[in-house]
Structure 1
Amino acid sequence: MKKIMLMVAACAAMVACNNGKTTANNESNDSAAQDTAAAGDSAVYEGMTPAADVAGIKYRVALAKDSSNGFSVVESYMKSNTEADTTYNYTGKYQVIKKDVKGKSNTYYQFELGKDNKTNFLVVNDSTLRLVNSDFEEPAVNSKDMNYDLKLK
């Protein structure tokens, strides 16, 4: 119970200090999210998705392992594979959505990343989440060069 309260307090502190968002180009861009996930009460997924105007968008998603459906997402717009240009931190409660898409029953996680910005991830398996569009459709191309998957760490 103490770990859950610590996680809630850390999330609240992040929201209070930076209004749910941080725009920065600093070395500790996701330290608060890492501290929350390090508590051992989270499943953490990481990966970099393609983007049009930057090298990619790196995601770090920490999901609470309890019934609270709490999440912490760090979204970094990358200048290169190793250098972030802008980083945003989000916390809240994710929704679990069961939906039939193209005749297949799937489970999705939906996160509100900023006002009126819902981001959806398909639960591919126990160790992979895949970024999908607002209609819950998978990307047309999901190859080694154009990968939309986040892997469990």
Structure 2
Amino acid sequence: MADEPLPEHQPPPGVDTRTIEAVGLVTEALETTERARGYLYSFHQLTGSADLKLGEAVDKLHDAGHHDLAEEIEREIVGRNVIPGRWTFQIMEAYDDTYWGPFREMEQRVRDKLTEGRRHLYEAQMKEDRRTHGHRHHTAVPD
């Protein structure tokens, strides 16, 4: 078997380097939003965990006889919106529907229109440029 990339990691005929670079940047930008979305999920889960812990703390304050303070925390903080009208799950849903989902669709549309839907062509070209051809740890594809 020849030591070359699979067809899905080779540019379609007639696709130039500048197009591959541009599509690669669109994909890289989407990857960055994927990371941002992960941070939002962390925010969502951490905030939810903090609210549950605070609920436990309220129970302990009640058990210790600090009813006024426990009730104040429960009334003012436990279950509170993190931004007006929204808990974190609503922020996630709005992000997904307003930004992340349409961004994913656009990135797919760009790849479909310009590179026959092929993914990571920029990286595949980089791998070809950087690997040592003929070296057993630098093969184009797995054995």
Alignment TM-score, normalising by the size of structure 1: 0.20
More helix by share: 2
Structure of higher CA gyration radius: 2
Q: Which has the higher strand share?
A: 1
- Structure with the larger RCO, 1 or 2 (CA within 8 Å, 6+ apart): 2
TM-score using structure 2 length: 0.21
